[in-house]
Amino acid sequence: MVALSGNRHSLRGDIVFTFVLIAVGYLAWLARDVLIMLYVSALFAVILTPLIHSTARLRIGRWYPLKGSRALLFLLLALAGAIAAYISFAIPPVVRDLENLSGSIPTRVPAILARIKSLPFASHLNMAQVTQDLQTYASRLAATTLLSIRSWAGKLADVAMGFILTAYFILEGDQAYRWSLSFVPADKRARLEGVLERAGVRMGRWLLGQGSLMLILGVTSTIVFASLHIRYAYALGVLTGLLNIIPVLGAAISIAIVLLVAIFDSWGKVLGVAIFYVVYIQVENSYLTPRIMQSRVHLPGIAVIVSLLLGFAIEGILGAMVAVPTAALVALLLEEYLQQSATGSMAAEDAPARDMH
């Protein structure tokens, strides 16, 4: 009877645990956007914390002017200043050219149509239909732009919230980290803490690797744009390097922007930009990204590529941005808890055989 009662209580506990697990999983699915934002913010806080600490160690004599939260404030102000300087440098020429273009559209449209007619396949096109389609597209452009502005406004609000959460995790993350570790049994806490510390080091190295890729693309694209005499060559080169923080899609956005600028000058510039991007993307995807990331985060090249694809498939741009540091964390956890556990099990199995001898 006692055994039956014990089995009944065990079965009841398993059922309750299963239902609780399902409920928690369902709630996590409903709040997945918030949880993803929290995870990404915490991850970037871990990545940026070494940079904050390095900034805080700067000193003038015996005085540390950027100690504590002042280091974070200094970096935020430096970032805001860099963005303001870039906008003041890049936007005025674009606005001036757009104003000139809006006044010359009636004379430019026939020239564009004449250029289209000169293409080899243009004889199969109905130019009257093409003109009508262009007019229809122009009439719908305002509504599309309004919807895009609303969509981007929501994205910018998410980005702002992500910055706030990242700053909070940097300032108060140590307390949250200790509180989270308090739920782990004391005998296993030191082991997990060691793994997380090693993961933090690898994530910081990922930031250096990603910065290297951004710098390489920014410099090479600026040189190519200046050589081709593309308008706003230096501004576009900087933008191209910055957008490279978004894997895959960042390069596509850069291609679209630069090709849109080049198409107003000549087809030769369009061809030159297209050739450059095709060559660079092949070099980056097959050589630069695997080699640089492998040396920084100690992941095989195929693991870097697969993690980028999975991150993009799961959460789009945001998932691709954090795919590699997440893969580094998962790899360390697997190495610590699966590989070493398997090694320990094999050693335990070999022990009786050695005792028999």
**pLDDT tens column, 265-279:** 788 888 888 898 888
Please check the confidence at residue 353 and state whether its pLDDT lies above 70: no
pLDDT (0 to 100) of residue 52: 81
Q: Where are the domains of the chain?
A: 186-345
Q: Quick one: pLDDT band at residue 135, thresholds 50, 70, 90?
A: low
d(CA 107, CA 142): 21
Q: What whole-number distance in Å separates Cα of residue 268 and Cα of residue 19?
A: 65
Is residue 323 a contact partner of residue 235, using CB atoms and an 8 Å limit?
A: no
Percent of the chain's residues with pLDDT above 70 = 73
Average pLDDT over residues 69-76: 81
Query: Rounded to an integer, what distance in angstroms lies between the CA atom of residue 311 and that of residue 296?
Result: 19
Do you know the residue count of the chain?
357
> How far, CA to CA in Å, does 333 sit from each of 192, 236, 314?
9, 40, 21
More reliable by pLDDT, 45 or 293: 45
State residue 133's pLDDT score.
62
Q: Which residue has the higher pLDDT, 151 or 295?
A: 295
Instruction: In the chain, count H helices and then E strands.
Output: 12, 0
Which pTM value belongs to this model?
0.67
Q: Are 297 and 324 in contact (CB under 8 A)?
A: yes
Q: Is 60 helix (H, G, I), strand (E, B) or coil?
A: strand
Asked whether residue 84 carries a pLDDT value surpassing 70, the answer given is yes
State residue 283's pLDDT score. 84
pLDDT of residue 317: 74
As given in the structure block, the two tokens for residue 30 are 């409903």
